[in-house]
A and B are shown apart, each in its own frame.
Chain A
Amino acid sequence: MSAMEKLYLLAALAPLAGSILAGLFGKQLGRQPSAWICILSVAVSFVASALIFQDVLAGRLYNGTVYTWLVSGSAAFNVGFLIDQLTVTMMLVVTFVSLMVHIYTIGYMADDDGYQRFFSYISLFTFSMMMLVMANNFVQLFFGWEAVGLVSYLLIGFWYKRPTAIYANLKAFLVNRVGDFGFLLGIGLILAHFGTLEYKTVFMFAPQVAGSTINILGDQQWSLMTVICICLFIGAMGKSAQVPLHVWLPDSMEGPTPISALIHAATMVTAGIFMVSRMSPLFELSDTALSVVLVIGAITALFMGFLGIVQNDIKRVVAYSTLSQLGYMTVALGASAYSVAIFHLMTHAFFKALLFLAAGSVIIGVHHNQDIRHMGGLWKYMKITWFTSLVGSLALIGTPFFAGFYSKDSIIEAVKHSTLPGSGFAYFAVVAGVFVTAFYSFRMYFLVFHGKERFDQGHEGHGHDQHAQDAHHGHGGKPHESPWVVTVPLVLLMIPSVVIGYLTIQPMLFGGYFGDAIAVQPHHPAMKELAAEFHGPIAMGLHAFTTLPFLFALAGVVLAWYLYLKRPDLPGRIRRTVAGVYTLLDNKYYFDRFNDWFFAGGARKFGSLLSRGGDRALIDGLMVNGSAKLVGLSAAVIRYMQTGCLYHYAFAMVLGVFAYLFWRFFSKF
């Protein structure tokens, strides 16, 4: 094993070791040692990732097997690593955000009984995510895919006493399983038609099977690639929370805030985006699949943004914003601008993790209240949190020169150049989405940090994020800034939220950074057009001031300012005027109700029917016990003949003889 191979293993396995130590021996190790072991393990992983990054920049890529998991028939399934530009970008993002969240957790979870357990879970998550992004084959990808789902399940239900938390985690797992169902079928199709699950081999032979069709329904011929890609994309829809499989993400906010930042904003939910980018050589071969991706992403980007406007829970606003931003990334995928999607994934990871962690800091600061109607004017009390939140929000809405601007503007431009069916709608959605994003982001920002101080107004809408044992935090009192372990990660995340876009747009999008990791067919022109228009990051930023998206963003901010600071009486009136729309949004388009009624309720009803009608009545009642009864019944009838009286038997014999003779006599004629 070469030195680099050891480093790959170290990057993946160090967090696992930390997780095992904290998880199994947490009690013996104690609270702080367990935490620091996990932090150290993730730090090791981060440093290893950075070294691997250097190596990749020097042009040394890797694709190799660690061990053979299973051999069956003609197929071999391996565990192995593919290290290229795409992988290493994800590794850096994952380990960096994870490290920040680990440090932040020291402060945020300081009083929680499940301290070691929490650290064990987030380290396990880091390991799973690394396995996912480093995979060189579909089996390992699926392993990581499901493993992050497991950790997400465990962490959403971390406060297992709360009915809402354990409802949310089950829901998250099951909705994700619906996605995995499609994903697994996609993997199956790949194995069936390629004979292997190794990425490189599959990608190499993909153009050869591009033209082949399969018989799915009746005599209809479907393009094999379209079916495969749509199946894979269903998996991505589950993990990356695209409509209609998005329903689990808002509820996942029941988990502690650090994991909302790490798992449900920065990393795990972007796994679908990563996966589709990784599969770009396949998706490029099916315009139909790309159209589906484009439209689903556009719907998510716009309609989930609307929902952010009516939320009053600080974490849920950020959650809907995450949904909407994931929609943007998906739109970029559909426009064949995979590198832009990954670029937005990266910038989003930084500023969204920042926004979530800042939200967590606010929640601590106001003594575990999450309702933004009970905040206001916090900027005076929490200077660092306030400033970092402002920067995060500016990055999110795409203010020129901030990280989010470069990525989001590139997405909008890329969609403009897409020629696929649905691209017109997608373009409309992402541009309109800019206004919506700016409006809900700054609605929250103004309500939380500016305006009248409302945090003394009762605690009736009281916090979801309240710890099980809250004796330490008294209620009431002035808000306070959080300890350094909380604010340092905020500052460290703020820096990339500002500069990372400016620094990396040139190499990542136009400098051929991704090399062969991402494939684009020549008849998908978006990236070429983008490159032609690009004249350096400064020019791009300056040019933006004259464009529609900037005006939309500005309008959103101004409107939020007018409605929530200048005329705070207006929102209530508007809500009453358009009550129908408000109800629709407040009920999240009734997705949850429908799922509860149709899928959950329907499955239970149908199951009951089968259990009672099928198993108990028909099979057991009629056939099994029925045949037993039949035996009993015929025995009861026949028993009457067994009277035990000799003359009855003699009489029967005489009758029999007569009958026989009678028959013999008459059968002669």
Chain B
Amino acid sequence: MTAYLLSLTIWVPIAFGVLVLALGRGGNAQLGRLLALVGSLAGFAVAVPLYSGFNAGTSAMQFVELTPWIPAFNINYHLGVDGISVLFVLLNSFVTVLVVWAGWEVIKDKTAQYMAAFLIMSGLINGVFAAVDAMLFYVFFEAMLIPMYLIIGVWGGPNRVYAALKFFLYTLLGSLLMLVALLYLYRVSGGSFELARYYQVPLSMTAQVLLFIAFFLAFAVKVPMWPVHTWLPDAHVEAPTGGSVVLAAITLKIGAYGFLRFILPIVPDASHYLAGFVITLSLIAVVYIGLVALVQTDMKKLIAYSSIAHMGFVTLGFFIFSPLGMEGGLVQMLSHGFVSAAMFLCVGVMYDRMHSRMIADYGGVVNVMPKFAAFFMLFAMANAGLPATSGFVGEFMVILAAVKFNFWIALAAATTLITGAAYTLWMYKRVIFGDISNPQVSEMSDLSRREFWLLAVVALCVLGMGLYPAPFTEVMHTSVRDLLEHAAKSKLL
């Protein structure tokens, strides 16, 4: 059984997705929903043993599966997870459950297709995190775009076509360069797509820098890093709630994951050489984007910008090259998965009632939705990095690591304490506090039972991770240490 666990996490959701498509169309929407829920739960159930059976004492790939796929080009169906990727398979499977649950009554149009798109995407994303064959990774990486493109393009808002196209082209541009890089590596490694093989290939500095640029573009767009971030606010604004949740909670992480899986170990010398460049972009993300977030009038856009700022901490943490920074970055990724998902779910709850994302259309929501306001408060505080929530842990670790690296970098990064609180709580104040501002607000009803438990589950994750983050980091230690040791060794010819 454990031999095929990773395959199961990929193919179970996809199989259920196909099943939902086949059986749930038309009048069978309810059956489709149920099947989707079962599928997502099954997907999560097969992911749990990955964590419980995980051996934190080794940095080697675990749960490995290896089957030749296209022998002519030496491409293998090669899966495995280490301490860096295992938690993301888990997070993704978990978020899929949330998304299916969140879309339960809300999506009335083409329900089965909607659910199926998420299930299939979930399988593909698990594939991204589990693939240790570069070509297999690339296939999953690209295939994942299609369901997301459809989710934004079909179930999105008024300007969805522009947003979907922008999202698709932006990411495609980056990933095509990655394909070129992979083909180059295939040649110099003597005809292999094994990532492990790439880690050992010696490369000249020129080659490393060129490869760095190619990979960097592919992943920086995904993260997204300034200045290739402008697709994200548009995509979020137009995407349905579930789309935003997956986009923020999972797909952004793939970019950051790429840095660890490809850039640092394959081109370590270029990574060190260009670390200052990446750190600068990260700090711009924290400071510049923080200020941009402050003036947004659209809640989803605001949270989208705050996502970019938070992801700036991830890339900053990675390129400090210390265990604390790198684990901080990883923790920040996980935490952002919970917190951004929760923030978008909260906006979704309000949007379902008011059909508006504009801050100015709200005011005094607490008067009619006290339970909701309490949850939203918790998540807003997590977004502002309050201790005892998960949002604090990653930022704290990265800032502490940064102080050791360079005081001024830490100082710039720590401004998030002020800007993060400012944009999040100012929005909260204008939306939630105050007297009821207009008749539409007074008609809003508090959380339904489904919404309540949905938010409660995420709230538990946010608090749990904030109060006791050790179980998350314990898994990472060995892999992070090995990665850092590997990245410290020169690969120059």
Question: Which residues of A pack against B, CB within 8 Å?
Answer: 67-75, 139, 142-143, 146-147, 150, 153-154, 157, 160-161, 163, 166, 170, 173-174, 177-178, 180-181, 184-185, 187-189, 191-192, 214, 216, 603-604, 606-608, 610-611, 614-615, 619-620, 623-624, 628
Contacts and interface: CB of A to CB of B under 8 A. Distances in A.
Most chain B CB atoms below 10 A, which of A71, A185, A187: A185
Nearest to A227: B407
Interface string B136-162: 000000000000000000000000000
B53 interface: no
A610 B288 contact: yes
Contact of A147 (B288, B291, B388, B399): B388
Interface string B408-447: 0011001101110110011001001111000000000000
Contacts of B388: 143, 147
Most chain A CB atoms below 10 A, which of B231, B392, B393, B400: B400
Nearest to B407: A216
A174 B403 contact: no
By Cβ-Cβ distance, the 5 closest A-B pairs, closest first, are A188-B403, A73-B323, A192-B404, A607-B291, A607-B295
Contact of B417 (A73, A163, A170, A180): A180
Contacts of A608: 295
A71 B392 CA distance: 15
Contacts of B435: 161
B8 interface: no
A139 B388 CA distance: 11
Given A153-B425, A174-B422, A185-B399, 8 more contacts: A68-B470, A71-B477, A161-B434, A170-B426, A184-B399, A184-B414, A607-B294, A608-B295
A620 B230 contact: yes
B327 A170 contact: no
B403 A185 contact: yes
B364 interface: yes
A291 B222 CA distance: 50
Given A160-B434, A181-B414, A170 B429 contact: yes
Contacts of B189: none
Contact of B288 (A67, A75, A185, A614): A614
A188 B402 contact: yes
Contacts, number: 137
Contacts of B295: 604, 607-608, 611
A624 B166 contact: yes
A71 B331 CA distance: 12
B296 interface: yes
A146 B403 contact: no
Nearest to B469: A70
Given A216-B407, A607-B294, A624-B166, A160 B433 contact: yes
Contacts of A68: 470
A352 to B, nearest CB: 28
A544 B235 CA distance: 73
Interface string B445-480: 000000000000000000000011110011001000
B296 A178 contact: no
A499 B54 CA distance: 63
Given A192-B404, A611-B295, A163 B434 contact: yes
Contacts of B296: 611
A187 B396 CA distance: 10
B330 to A, nearest CB: 10
Contact of A619 (B227, B293, B327, B474): B227
B404 A191 contact: yes
Contact of B292 (A74, A75, A170, A615): A615
Given A161-B367, A191-B404, A603-B422, A71 B474 contact: yes
Given A68-B470, A70-B469, A174-B422, A191 B291 contact: no
B316 interface: no
A611 B364 CA distance: 27
By secondary structure, the B interface counts as: helix
B80 interface: no
Interface of B: 166, 169-170, 227, 230-231, 288, 291-296, 322-324, 327-328, 364, 366-367, 377, 381, 386-388, 392-393, 396-397, 399-400, 402-404, 407, 410-411, 414-415, 417-419, 421-422, 425-426, 429, 432-435, 467-470, 473-474, 477
B468 A67 contact: yes
B339 to A, nearest CB: 16
A69 B388 CA distance: 11
A16 to B, nearest CB: 11
B490 to A, nearest CB: 22
Contact of A181 (B393, B418, B433): B418
A73 B170 CA distance: 36
Contacts of A628: 169
A177 B421 contact: yes
A603 B324 contact: no
Contact of B291 (A71, A170, A181, A610): A610
A174 B418 contact: yes
Contacts of B166: 624
Contact of A606 (B291, B377, B397): B291
Contact of B468 (A69, A147, A185): A69
B470 A69 contact: yes
B83 to A, nearest CB: 13
Given A68-B470, A71-B473, A71-B474, A188 B292 contact: no
A623 B328 CA distance: 33
Contacts of B433: 157, 160-161, 166
A551 B206 CA distance: 81
B291 A73 contact: no
Contacts of A75: 324, 400
Nearest to B366: A160
9 contacts: A73-B327, A161-B434, A180-B417, A184-B414, A603-B422, A607-B293, A610-B291, A614-B292, A619-B230
Contacts of A610: 288, 291-292
A426 B470 CA distance: 47
B22 to A, nearest CB: 38
Contacts of B422: 174, 603
Given A72-B328, A174-B418, A624-B230, A189 B407 contact: yes
A603 B294 contact: yes
Contact of B407 (A71, A74, A154, A185): A185
A156 to B, nearest CB: 11
Contacts of A623: 227
Nearest to A142: B387
A611 B393 CA distance: 29
A181 B420 CA distance: 12
Contact of B399 (A70, A74, A188): A188
